[in-house]
Amino acid sequence: MIITSLLKIPSIRAKVIHRIKQFYFEELDVSIPILNSYWAKLFHNDSYDSFSEIFIQNEYEGFIPNIEIKSLIDLGAHHGFFSVWLQSLLEKRKLKSLLVEPSARCFPVLTQLAQRKEYKENFVFINKCIGNPDEGVTLFFDRPHMASSNFKRGEDEIAAKASVLTTKDIFRWQAPPYDLLKCDVEGAEFFLFKHYSEILLNTKFVILEWHDHESASYLKNEFENLNFSIPKSSVTAQSLENDNPSSGIFLAQNNNL
């Protein structure tokens, strides 16, 4: 009764709600229905940012290739919403997805996601980071709001060590070829071409999000060097050259397969 009475006071109720959202959000079990009887669970207070980007702003709409997608490599999986979204589009066909994400904040999220009954047989989570596989480990800066990366942004940031993803890790998950690779790794895109070209050459389509206009031109050239074409881009070649966009998406097609 005392708690009930206290919660009638707006200022106290606001503080309680704030604390619950800040420290116990997962226990609220907030889930949002999406297509074909699938649900997207919001695990953290900031999960809505990632959810909104994919399900509301439809960031990847129009970038899904018109093929039968059975296998997906999801680099920079964050909370797994891209894999969940793509699975919801496939109706009765089950998607095999390898979710790669080094973030400690995302570890319990993706571990639980891969264990849910609708994904248990098909989603596999690897808690690793792309980088130089010869080094074994790399530094990783874990941040909220989808901003984690290999690169330091502020002097007060403290890096954690993350294991580096290897080509063998991917081959052990499933033998090639792969239908689709999605990459959103906050500025570390060039590692794909430097250390994972064998994976790219065994993948039919790549959706790559780039994070500055100078690297976009470099990445486009790297795709062309591997005999990929880019059938769709979020920006035109003229805009990329003149407008200095800060981010964008390429859909690249492997002409070797």
Task: Please give the Cα distance from 113 to 127 (Å, whole number).
Answer: 13
160-172: average pLDDT? 94
Is the predicted pLDDT of residue 14 greater than 80, yes or no?
no
Is the predicted pLDDT of residue 253 greater than 80, yes or no?
yes
Is the predicted pLDDT of residue 77 greater than 80, yes or no?
yes
C-alpha dihedral (121, 88, 230, 127), degrees to nearest 10: -40
99-123: average pLDDT? 93
Model pLDDT for residues 230-239, shown as the tens digit of each residue: 999 988 665 6
The secondary structure of residue 27, as a DSSP letter, is: G
pLDDT of residue 69: 97
CB 201 within 8 A of CB 226: yes
pTM tops 0.85, yes or no: yes
pLDDT bucket at 117, cuts 50 / 70 / 90: very high
Is the predicted pLDDT of residue 146 greater than 60, yes or no?
no
> Per DSSP, which regions of 30-70 are E strands?
30-33, 39-42
Domains in the chain, start-ordered, CATH in brackets? 46-254 (3.40.50.150)
CB 207 within 8 A of CB 181: yes
